[in-house]
Structures are given as C-alpha cells and as structure tokens.
C-alpha cells in the first residue's frame, strides 16, 4: 500500500524516518529545520517512540550516541551552526561504529549567518567536521520525494555498515511542498549483539568506547575503519546524469542547485548548446569514477554551488584536473536563477570556442 501526500521536505524526512523504524529522536530547534523536530514531537510518541527536545545540539548528539549504542534506530537534526556543535559527538559515533542518522538542513554561514538556504557545509560534511580519520556517509536529496527516500535508505545503510549517515539538505528543500509517495516498508529487525542492553544472560559485558591509549591498538582501529570505508566507496556511490552522453559542457550540482541547473541545461539545449548535468547523490562517497567517465568526451565542467566553492575541489580531483572546471556560486543565502546559470553557460561556450 502506498500513499501520496503534499508535504514539506522537512516533514517528509520525519514521516520517512518513522516508516524506516526510527523510534528515537533527540534534537534542538533551529531554523530552517524546526518543522522536522515539531513533526517528530507530534508523531513519534504516537508510534510508541520517544521524542526528546535536548538542552542543546551537543546534548542531542550525545543522546543519539547513547541510544545508538543501546541498539536503537535513532535520528537527530539541525542546521549548520548546530551541526558544528555536533562534530565532537559525530567523531565519537563514527569511532564507536554506531549507526544513526544526522540531518543538516543547511543555511547561510559562517557564524550565525542567515536562515536562507546554503550549501557551504559540504567540507564539514564530507571532509570530517570532527576530529580524526573518519567519514559519515553523506546523501544529498534534491526533492521532497528524495528527502523521504534517502531517509529510509540512510537508516538501512547506517545499520548495515554501523556508521553515521548524514542527510545534507538545505533550507529550500526543507521548506518546499511537493507530493511525496510513501510505500509500505516492512521492517527487518537488525541484530545488534554488540549493543549495551544490560548483560542479561550474555555473561560478557558489552562496552561502547573509543579510547585506545596504545598507539598500536588505535592504529588497528583506524585501519578497520578505513577498510569499511573502502567497501562503502565500492558499493554505496549514487549519482544521476541527464544528457551527458553528447555534452560538451557538464554541469555538476547537488541538492536544490541541481534543480536550477537542470532548468538551465534545458534552456541551453533549446538554444542548441550541448549541455549535460551530473548530479551526485552521495557526496561521500563521491562518485569520482562516474563523474570522470561522464566528462571524458566533454570539453569543460561547470560546478554550481550555494557557496564560494567546496564541491568544486572534489570535482577537480575526480577528473584529475583533466578539463577546465568553471565555478558559479552564490552565498549568504542568495540563490542563483536558471537564467544566471544559462548566461554563465553561454559565456563558457564563448570562452571555450575562443570567441
């Protein structure tokens, strides 16, 4: 059975989380994700789950650590400055190999910034944010439907790999209302023999910890994590392409920006310019090979972000700087229009053709 509802992106995450079996949510209000915490406050108790507004984002991520360590499917959400606060906790969660979902509905930064959409947390999400050699799996939806679908996917891969998964949305996606189809999702209970549930008849205590004072031991822990990340990089990459086969210019964008880029691409095609769009859906692992393949026959790449340029570095790395990579960005909460992107496309074609 499935139902189709008109929902805000933030709410779609909430409903999908519950469908995915999330029964514990710890969060703190911050614009522009307050609809999500309010949705969980209203709906989670109705399922027998527990909603708790914590005293800070720091407290919330540590409640997630506790609940995840105790074997639960658990989520927290925040926006950029609040996610900064969570970084210590996320490092601990990754180190202890605990599954959980962390939602960042990005806003303008740095500092207190603004409440309008932004994409300037790409580095924070994909290059750490917290200390140490670890990774969150990072997924970037670009519609309310994907906010829902990727949430269910997030809980599954979190448990599968015992890893934190971050859903990187933005204020535009969070606020926009679109139809979302929800399907039945029969829950397959995941066995967690490592969880702290009370020793019971187990006879041997379970410990969740991240302290390894002997460097030999800590290096081994890191090697184990790296092996896991290698597997994730091989199996969990996701992306989408449009019209890249014959494209001379490939646009690269994610999230809300990818939708604007898609419109610009259509405008360009109508004007006879061969433009394609490559949309990463997992930002970590970044779809390096797929992007490199897509760019093989193109002449140039245009990376578009709501930042001063963060993913553009990964684009260059993925294609090993083999083609010119242009960048277009807005920041502070400003969003470019499809016309802005189209004009940039025209400019690039002129430049590339030596006009």
Partner 1 sequence: MEGILFAWPQALVDIPTHYCPGCQHGLAHRLVAEVIDELEIQKKTIGVVPVGCSVMADKYFNLDAQEAAHGRAPAVATGIKRVHPDKVVFTYQGDGDIAAIGMAEIVHAAARGEKITTIFINNAIYGMTGGQMAPTTLVNQVTATSPFGRQQSSTGYPIRLSEMLATLDGAKYIARVSVNDPANMNKAKKAIKTAFETQIRGEGFAMVEVLAACPTNWGLSPVNAKRWLEENMLPQFPLGVYKNSAEVK
Rounded CA separation 137/133 (Å): 13
CB of 95 to partner 1, least distance (A): 10
Stretch of residues binding partner 1 (CB under 8 A), selected from 61-69, 163-171, 242-250, 318-326: 61-69
Rounded CA separation 165/151 (Å): 9
Rounded CA separation 86/69 (Å): 17
Among 24, 134, 182, 327, binds partner 1 (CB under 8 A): 24
Q: How many residues bind partner 1 (CB under 8 A)?
A: 38
Tokens of 284: 């970590």
Q: Are 105 and 171 in contact (CB under 8 A)?
A: yes
CB of 222 to partner 1, least distance (A): 17
CB of 59 to partner 1, least distance (A): 4
Among 56, 297, 308, 337, binds partner 1 (CB under 8 A): 56
Stretch of residues binding partner 1 (CB under 8 A), selected from 50-58, 241-249, 306-314, 336-344: 50-58
Write each residue from 169 to 198 as x if it is in contact with partner 1 (CB under 8 A), else as -, in one continuous string. ---------------------------xxx
CB of 330 to partner 1, least distance (A): 36
Tokens of 344: 């940039």
In this structure, the number of other CB atoms found within 10 A of the CB of residue 173 comes to 29
Rounded CA separation 170/9 (Å): 10
CB of 23 to partner 1, least distance (A): 8
Q: Which residue in 118, 110, 182, 174 sits closest to 141, CA to CA? A: 174
Quickly tell me which residue has 């004007």 as its tokens: 271
Write each residue from 294 to 333 as x if it is in contact with partner 1 (CB under 8 A), else as -, in one continuous string. ----------------------------------------
Using DSSP, state whether 291 is helix, strand or coil: helix
Among 21, 27, 69, 108, binds partner 1 (CB under 8 A): 69
Among 200, 215, 272, 354, binds partner 1 (CB under 8 A): 200
Rule CB under 8 A: say whether 351 interacts with partner 1. Answer: no
Rule CB under 8 A: say whether 208 interacts with partner 1. Answer: yes
Stretch of residues binding partner 1 (CB under 8 A), selected from 1-9, 120-128, 206-214, 325-333: 206-214
Rounded CA separation 30/178 (Å): 22
Rule CB under 8 A: say whether 209 interacts with partner 1. Answer: yes
Q: Are 180 and 8 in contact (CB under 8 A)?
A: no
CA 92 remoteness from chain centre: 19
Q: Which residue in 132, 112, 154 sits closest to 282, CA to CA? A: 154
Q: Are 229 and 264 in contact (CB under 8 A)?
A: no
CB of 323 to partner 1, least distance (A): 44
Stretch of residues binding partner 1 (CB under 8 A), selected from 33-41, 71-79, 259-267, 284-292: 71-79
Using DSSP, state whether 107 is helix, strand or coil: strand
Q: Which is nearer to partner 1, 207 or 270 (CB)?
A: 207
Among 9, 89, 108, 129, binds partner 1 (CB under 8 A): 89
Q: Which residue in 101, 85, 239 sits closest to 164, CA to CA? A: 101
**Strand (E) or helix (H) holding 279:** strand 275-280
Q: Which is nearer to partner 1, 57 or 121 (CB)?
A: 57
Measure Cα distances from 155 to 75, 138, 148 in Å: 9, 12, 11
Residue 250 DSSP class:
E
Residues that bind partner 1 (CB under 8 A): 24, 26, 50, 52, 54-56, 58-60, 62-72, 74, 88-89, 92, 196-201, 205-211
């Amino acid at each position: 059975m499935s139902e189709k509802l008109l929902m805000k992106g933030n709410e779609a995450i909430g409903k999908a989380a519950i469908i995915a079996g999330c029964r514990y949510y710890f969060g703190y209000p911050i614009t522009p994700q307050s609809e999500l915490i309010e949705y969980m406050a209203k709906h989670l108790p109705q399922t027998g789950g527990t909603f708790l507004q914590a005293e800070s984002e720091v407290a919330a991520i540590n409640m997630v650590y506790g609940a995840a360590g105790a074997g639960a499917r658990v989520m927290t959400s925040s926006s950029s400055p609040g996610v900064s606060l969570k970084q210590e906790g996320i490092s601990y969660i990754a180190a202890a190999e605990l599954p959980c979902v962390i939602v960042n509905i990005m806003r303008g930064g740095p500092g207190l910034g603004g409440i309008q959409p932004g994409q300037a947390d790409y580095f924070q999400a994909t290059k750490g944010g917290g200390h140490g050699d670890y990774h969150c799996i990072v997924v970037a939806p670009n519609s309310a439907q994907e906010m829902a679908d990727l949430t269910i996917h997030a809980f599954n891969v979190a448990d599968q790999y015992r890893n934190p998964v971050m859903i990187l949305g933005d204020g535009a996606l969070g606020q926009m209302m679109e139809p979302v189809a929800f399907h039945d999702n029969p829950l397959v209970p995941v066995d967690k023999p490592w969880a702290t549930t009370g020793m019971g008849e187990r006879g041997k205590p379970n410990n969740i910890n991240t302290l390894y004072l002997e460097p030999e031991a800590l290096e081994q822990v890191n090697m184990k994590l790296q092996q896991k990340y290698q597997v994730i990089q091989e199996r969990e990459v996701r992306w989408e392409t449009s019209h890249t086969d014959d494209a001379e210019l490939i646009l690269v964008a994610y999230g809300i920006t990818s939708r604007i880029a898609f419109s610009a691409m259509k405008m360009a095609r109508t004007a006879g310019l061969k433009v394609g769009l490559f949309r990463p859906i997992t930002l970590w692992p970044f779809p390096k090979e797929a992007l490199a393949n897509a760019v093989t026959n193109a002449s140039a790449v245009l990376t578009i972000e709501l930042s001063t340029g963060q993913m553009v570095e990964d684009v260059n790395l993925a294609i090993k700087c083999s083609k010119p990579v242009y960048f277009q960005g807005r920041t502070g909460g400003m969003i470019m229009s499809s016309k802005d992107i189209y004009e940039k496309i025209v400019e690039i074609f002129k430049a590339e053709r030596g006009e």
